[in-house]
Amino acid sequence: MFKRIMVPVDLAHIDKMEHALGCAADLAGLYGAEVTYVGATAAAPSAVAHTPAEFAAKLREFAGAQAAQRGIEAHDHMVMAHDPTTDLDDTLLRAVKDIDADLVVMASHVPGVAEYVWPSNGGKIAGHAKASVLVVRD
């Protein structure tokens, strides 16, 4: 049914994404799909990483840890956003295309990051992506 599942992750709030991460891993097991964790960062330093290179390394570590913990085939994909406050959803939509995902599993209700919180974000991905989109409430 699904071959490649994309999971947008917010490395600053991983603890609040347990449901989505578990759900994506279960679906991956069920359909024998691989999971690609997509992390978006800006060029400027953030709470997660000082540089995009550091961010990429952390994302890779995260994907590796998920693969080991959940027994799935996991990849990582970093995307750069010029202005994450406003263009995160466009950036994620590009990522859906770039990695050729057929299912997107997104968390919602991560506090403090409006783009993940507002259903409009998941809604925009669902409305514009060619892939199926599953929004997992916290």
Nearer to other proteins, 59 or 101 (CB): 59
Using CA atoms, how far apart are residues 72 and 94, in angstroms rounded to an integer? 24
The token duo for 12 is 């600053």
Nearer to other proteins, 12 or 134 (CB): 12
Q: How far is the CB of 104 from other proteins (least distance, A)?
A: 20
Asked whether position 113 contacts other proteins by CB under 8 A, the answer is yes
Asked whether position 22 contacts other proteins by CB under 8 A, the answer is no
Contact 38, 95 (CB under 8 A): yes
**H or E, element range at 4:** strand 4-9
Using CA atoms, how far apart are residues 3 and 100, in angstroms rounded to an integer? 9
What residues make contact with other proteins under the rule CB under 8 A? 11-15, 42-48, 50-54, 57-58, 61-62, 65, 80, 82-88, 111-115, 117
